[in-house]
Amino acid sequence: MSSSLQVGMAVAGGVVLACVVAYNAWKTQKSAPKLPEPQQPPAATEGAPPIADSPGLPGDSERLEPQFFLPGKEAAALLDKKPALDALIDVIAPIPLEALVSGDLALASMPPTRRVGSKPFAVEGQNATTLTWEWPQPGQRYQAFQAGVQLANRTGALNEIEFSEFVIKTQSFADAVGGEPDFPDMLGEVARARELDDFASQHDAQISFTLRALSAAWSPGYVQQHAQRLGFVPASIAGRMVLPASQAGLPGVLSLAFDPRAALADDPLQSALHEVTLSLDAPQVNRAEQPFVRMRESALALASRMEGTIIDDAGHAISLDGLDTIGASLEQLYDVLDARDLSAGSPLARRLFS
């Protein structure tokens, strides 16, 4: 009888152990991050055109510098026909010349750095042949120059010290090319910088939503797969993806970011992500791209497909009515920027809000 009792206890213990193992396996499987679906190689379609590579995109967190800083052929390909310097957001000092100056001399006379404090600094030349203002080019001749420094950006307004540095750099360049700069009044320009900075501070809009997993965590590959289905492409920074603009070379419309350590892990598919952030830098994106509409659609689609919820910075769920309110406010912001000739996504707006 003792033997039968021992056998019974052993069987019962085995059943309990099996239940414990099964429960732990179920719990582990439930808590494991969701993995991407296996990718099937695309079937070759006779006569189908080749798929173009995704356009190269800069990291969305990188500071956007004015395009007139790019020298040589790269600048020639990117510059508009109109001058990059603009009195709306720049201090401009004309530099008339007594004789034509070669582009080679102008380039050799440039200051070693193209910043004044925290503000971009640039020199443009008026081409003697085309009469257009451009970054000086080798082999060209120029009949006048103008130097400029930006009045404000997201680091703040141009101050008296930065204005003095601008004068020193401009005067040094002018001496080297045989010109005499005409500087505007410092106090007036600094006051203008503060007014522009106040306007920009009150009308800047960087919107972000957090998508939080409701149950199981996500792997980086799972997030990337769902984002790619919505048009996002990898950025140059680990843990970031961007939704490209309709025109190549412009900043991405939206940014999707998650923990870069998870993206760089030895086994990234097993790195658990509980949150990802969807962001829109509104002044950097043309309203014709309908950035907030696409942000809203992307957030709702990702939340639905990945079993997540949309929350704000305080951790509160964002309702559809809340999204509508944000969208309406953003449209009003676009109208104000348009009225100030600083339309969202324009070169001037991209420089000011950088």
Confidence of residue 71 (pLDDT cuts 50, 70, 90): very low
Strands (E), 74-195: 90-102, 115-116, 119-127, 133-134, 141-150, 152-153, 156-157
For residues 46-55, one letter each, b for 16 or more C-beta atoms within 10 angstroms of the residue's C-beta and e for the rest, the string is eeeeeeeeee
Mean pLDDT of 159-165: 98
The secondary structure element, H or E, covering residue 186 is helix 186-202
Where residue 45 falls among pLDDT bands split at 50, 70, 90? very low
Q: What is the pLDDT of residue 255?
A: 97
* Amino acid letter for position 315: G
Judged by average pLDDT, the poorest of 92-96, 120-124, 226-230, 268-272 is 268-272
Percent of the chain scored above 90 by pLDDT?
68
Residue 28 pLDDT > 50: no
**Per mean pLDDT, which of 71-75, 96-100, 313-317 is the most reliable?**
96-100
CA distance 228 to 284: 22
Query: What does the alpha-carbon distance between residue 202 and residue 136 come to, in Å, rounded to a whole number?
Result: 36
Q: Which of these ranges, 77-81, 101-105, 204-208, 230-234, has the smallest mean pLDDT?
A: 77-81
Q: What's the rounded Cα separation, in Å, for the pair 6 and 75?
A: 87
pLDDT at 284: 96
Highest mean pLDDT among 7-16, 63-72, 73-82, 185-194 belongs to: 185-194
Amino acid at 328: A
- Locate the domains of the chain by residue range: 67-201, 203-352
How far apart, in whole angstroms, are the C-alpha atoms of residue 260 and residue 238?
A: 5
Rounded (10°) angle between helices 291-305 and 220-229 = 130
Whether 67-201 and 203-352 share one fold: the answer is: yes
- CATH superfamily entry for domain 203-352: ZipA, C-terminal FtsZ-binding domain (3.30.1400.10)
**pLDDT average, residue stretch 71-77:** 36
Looking at every residue in the chain, the average pLDDT score rounds to: 83
Over residues 316-321, mean pLDDT? 92
CATH of domain 67-201: 3.30.1400
* Token representation of residue 82: 């109109």
- Percent of the chain exceeding pLDDT 70 equals 76
| Pick from 33-42, 196-205, 248-257: least confident | 33-42
Q: pLDDT confidence of 314, banded at 50, 70, 90?
A: confident
What average pLDDT score do residues 194-204 get? 98
- Contact residues for 147 (Cβ-Cβ < 8 A; gap 6+): 92, 93, 95, 121, 122, 123, 124, 166, 169, 170, 173, 174, 181
**Distance in angstroms (rounded) separating the CA atoms of residues 37 and 8:** 46
